[in-house]
């Protein structure tokens, strides 16, 4: 792979590639092939090529981080990555859900949706843990509503009004269904 990346496209060939991408059928697509023309390189002011762009393949790998807790890894990887996060090891129900998610490939929706579910369960576990330790949740502070009230009051009031209306409509619908079921059962 290294040898392939280090091959340099010669000047006549780069014009051929640029012209091949500029045929008639793509002229009406905005931005099509904008990076194919070497004279029209959109990264020019920021990128100053020194010819050693592929030297990054010869870097020294970081030493393997010591593993002193459970680290979940993808089934696509034979080993754990050299460096990994240790701030929140899997625990409780959310940890079990995460372990289940890592039985699936990262290319599947099941893997990612299960991890999202585990995140939501972890939030609930955190709230329960706070209550066990005598810390009452303060959504006003935790959700940043102080800043919203101070800097974006109209949007905040609109959002809270809509939320209240949706909750009220949901309660009304649920009580209507309960009443209709009770009236059918009584008759």
pLDDT digits 0-9 by tens, 92-130: 999 999 999 999 988 889 999 999 999 999 999 999 999
Is the pTM above the cut of 0.85?
no
Q: In Å, how far are 14, 80, 103, 132 from 73, measured between CA atoms? A: 41, 6, 9, 31
Give CA angle at 95 (113, 69), nearest 5°.
130
pLDDT digits 0-9 by tens, 123-168: 999 999 999 999 998 888 888 899 999 999 999 999 999 999 999 9
Continuous H helices in 53-108: 92-101
| Closest CA relative to residue 95, chosen from 124, 121, 133, 69 | 121
Would you say 17 and 36 are in contact if contact means Cβ atoms under 8 Å apart?
yes
Cα–Cα distance measured from residue 174 to residue 39, given in angstroms and rounded to the nearest whole number: 65
pLDDT digits 0-9 by tens, 37-63: 666 666 655 666 666 655 666 667 778
């Amino acid at each position: 792979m290294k040898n392939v990346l280090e091959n340099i496209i010669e000047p006549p060939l780069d014009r051929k590639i640029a012209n091949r991408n500029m045929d008639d059928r793509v002229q009406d697509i905005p931005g099509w092939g904008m990076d194919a023309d070497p004279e029209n390189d959109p990264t020019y002011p920021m990128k100053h090529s020194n010819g050693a762009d592929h030297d990054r393949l010869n870097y020294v790998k970081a030493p393997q981080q010591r593993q002193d807790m459970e680290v979940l890894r993808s089934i696509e990887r034979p080993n754990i990555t050299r460096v990994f996060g240790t701030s929140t090891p899997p625990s409780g129900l959310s940890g079990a859900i995460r372990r289940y998610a890592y039985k699936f490939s990262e290319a599947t929706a099941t893997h990612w949706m299960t991890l999202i579910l585990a995140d939501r369960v972890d939030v609930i576990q955190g709230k329960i843990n706070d209550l066990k330790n005598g810390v009452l949740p303060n959504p006003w502070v935790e959700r940043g509503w102080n800043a919203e009230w101070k800097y974006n009051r109209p949007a905040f009031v609109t959002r809270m009004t809509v939320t209240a209306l949706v909750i009220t409509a949901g309660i009304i619908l649920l009580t209507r269904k309960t009443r209709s079921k009770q009236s059918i059962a009584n008759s």
